[in-house]
Structure 1
Amino acid sequence: MAAIARIAEPLPLDVAGIVHEIMRPRLGAIDAGEYPADILRALGAAGAYGHHADGTAAGLLAAIDAMTEAGQACLSTAFCMWCQDALVWYLAQGDEAGPRRHLAAIASGAALGGTGLSNPMKAFSGIEPLALQGERAGEGYRVRGRLPWVSNLGPGQRFAGILSLPDGRRVMGLFEAGAEAVSIAGNARFIALEGTGTYTVMIRDALLSDADVITHDAAAFVPRIRNGFVLLQTGMGLGLARGVAALMRADARGRANAAFLPLGPDAIEARADALRARVAAAAQAHAETDRANFLETLRLRLDVSWLALEAAQAAMLQFGARGYLEGSEPFRRLREAQFVAIVTPSVKHITTELARAT
């Protein structure tokens, strides 16, 4: 009897395969507000969020490159990846062992979660007060406050937050969306990145147990993680710029008539390459806690923002009226690029910090 041929199981997709085969067909739905939870889990299973858990420069760069790959197609997904990556970063670098019980699930994408550090990063720069307040209560802290926008969330998904105590100390902990006294509500609609699971979080006397405290001294902890926090964001802007360059090249008709515009796809790619080299160099110094090093990280992040904005604008100029249509790809990329420039630390925030240093 002839042997029965065995049907080979399909190989798991890598990040590029997930982007091409699963994400790209759903770009319109994600842009319209679909939260791509299954795609985010698949990216985690492909290893996208686990690279930097070891705290090395190589791991940090690999995480940025994975985000760049996704960002070439969809900034909403790349932003959610950054939220996930940031949470991995906090847990892996944290002072306390308790929250690390969640690290494996979050790094693998089995569990999804976000970062609630937009407000604290502004607070540490004196832009706004800390939104969460707490006080010691038994073996933990009683916490209250409101975070207006926390992304990559849904019921049961975790996020980090920093609270201030009456004596001025700051504590960083892990909260669960939808848990007792931690409610979420979607009460805004954005011009882009609507599919990012972004909610307002209301914390009403929730108990943060010591088992969920990442650090009891956030003032000392944040300088250790802030370079990595910001460097990870560069994957969003670099991905968008490279995606825009590819979009412009694929538009043979528009490209022929846009030869004399000031910024074309070759120049965009060259700038992206140069910035990627700077990111690699900066990753080597991510553990440095001095302010001068952090300002250099901010300058790099600012330059990535400018490239994303200029690249998306260049695509609109090349496509002309075709790009000005509702639902067009250049219009989506332009809206996404504006988010690169306003996500914390925003261009406004960064330029303020740099001006203080002069």
Structure 2
Amino acid sequence: MAATARIADAPRGVDQVVREELRPRVAEIDAGAYPEAALRALGGSGAFGHHLGEAGEGLLAAVDAMGLVGEACLSTAFCVWCQDALAWYLARSEEAGPRRHLAAVASGEALGGTGLSNPMKALAGIEPLALEGRREGNGYRVRGRLPWVSNLGPGHRFAGIFALPDGRRLMGLFEAGGKAVSISANARFVALEGTGTYTVMVRDAFVPDEDIVSGDTAAFVPRIRNGFVLLQTGMGLGLARGVAAMMRQDARGREQARFLPLGPEAIEERAEALRERVAAAAQVHAETGRGAFLEILRLRLDVSLLALEAAQAGMLQLGARGYLEGAEAFRRLREAQFVAIVTPSVKHITTELARGV
């Protein structure tokens, strides 16, 4: 499918938001500016609402919208994924309380993220669950520390999973920025600095029953994990296409690099083949078996590898021009590394695949 066809089929307004709100600010965002205006405009375009039903077409539309954003800026595409993931959980909650936030999240009126990096690793046996809670009145007291939660700011909500003394694990909504749920930026990243990523300290925060997304995460997580991972493919596919476009625009360098092993045509062909696999996987996203999840992980791995190879190809074509501070090729190289290390990382995925069914 040609890039122009993808834009024509994309949610109305996403391409315009990318062109007018995002591309002029990419350098600022890469340096650490949070793209709040672009995110709210994307919400207004409907970018965060396509995947709220059960239909696979909606999930694919969300991936395509994220891909358009990722062609320009992976930081913003990652924030889109965080927003999409939060909406994904809320839409699948069987509880009326947390679903009251869904319309605001889907429209971009309310921004927020997902604190499920640690729980996904905990479920895989990579690290212990970071949050613990106890029953108190009409809710729970929760404490713990989450090293990295993204798309946050004061008043933003995020979903987190905490363990009770009896071993049960619940998912609840937390509001960032107060004394009980404080956020702090304790490190500076080589990329994705503008994503509102913070360390979160949860100090006996009260989570009322009406903000419990799931009281049984053992059953809930298998229902959301395929979409959680599948949505991430929009980041890598968008980055790869953005690199291919950058390479095409560099006419002089393209001629000199014509004998390199990976050019823009091959990148675009591989991206389109992966998108077709995303479309097929989206149709069966509701399957909860481990075999289905492993297939999603294989797809996510292949997207990560394409992003890495495409960014490397772009750097090789640009050569010394891409090695300058502020160069687009270097930004895309740094961004591609993030695609490979964000949960589930390549290391995490290959471990799961080695375990098998």
Structure 2 gap segments, 5+ residues each: 1-10
Aligned to 1:218: 217
Aligned to 1:8: none
Aligned to 1:16: 15
Structure with bigger gyration radius = 1
2:132 equivalent to 1:143: no
Between stretches 44-53 and 180-189, larger displacement belongs to 180-189
Shift of 1:118: 0.2
Aligned to 1:311: 310
Aligned to 1:116: 115
Amino acid at match of 2:290: R
* Secondary structure of 1:72 counterpart: helix
* Secondary structure of 2:141 counterpart: strand
1:312–1:330 contact (8 Å) kept in structure 2: yes
Aligned to 2:33: 34
User: What does 1:114-193 align with in structure 2 at a 5 Å threshold?
Assistant: 114-193=113-192
1:50–1:107 contact (8 Å) kept in structure 2: yes
Aligned to 2:265: 266
Amino acid at match of 2:98: P
Aligned to 1:336: 335
Please give the root-mean-square deviation of Cα atoms over the aligned residues, in Å.
1.0
The two structures have a TM-score, normalised by structure 1, of: 0.96
1:55–1:93 contact (8 Å) kept in structure 2: no
How many residues matched? 347
Q: Equivalents in 1 of 2:230, 2:12: separation in Å?
A: 26
Shift of 1:138: 1.2
Shift of 1:284: 0.6
Q: Equivalents in 2 of 1:346, 1:132: separation in Å?
A: 21
1:150–1:198 contact (8 Å) kept in structure 2: yes
Shift of 1:13: 7.4
2:46 equivalent to 1:47: yes
Q: Deviations over 1:154-211 (max 9, x none)?
A: 0000000000111111000000002341111111100000000000100011111000
Amino acid at match of 1:56: A
Which consecutive segments of 4 or more residues in structure 1 shift more than 2 A?
A: none
Q: Equivalents in 1 of 2:103, 2:344: separation in Å?
A: 28
Shift of 1:296: 0.2
Structure 1 gap segments, 5+ residues each: 1-11
The two structures have a TM-score, normalised by structure 2, of: 0.96
Q: Equivalents in 1 of 2:85, 2:22: separation in Å?
A: 22
Shift of 1:221: 0.3
Aligned to 1:355: 354
* Secondary structure of 1:51 counterpart: coil
* Secondary structure of 2:137 counterpart: coil
1:172–1:214 contact (8 Å) kept in structure 2: yes
Shift of 1:95: 2.3
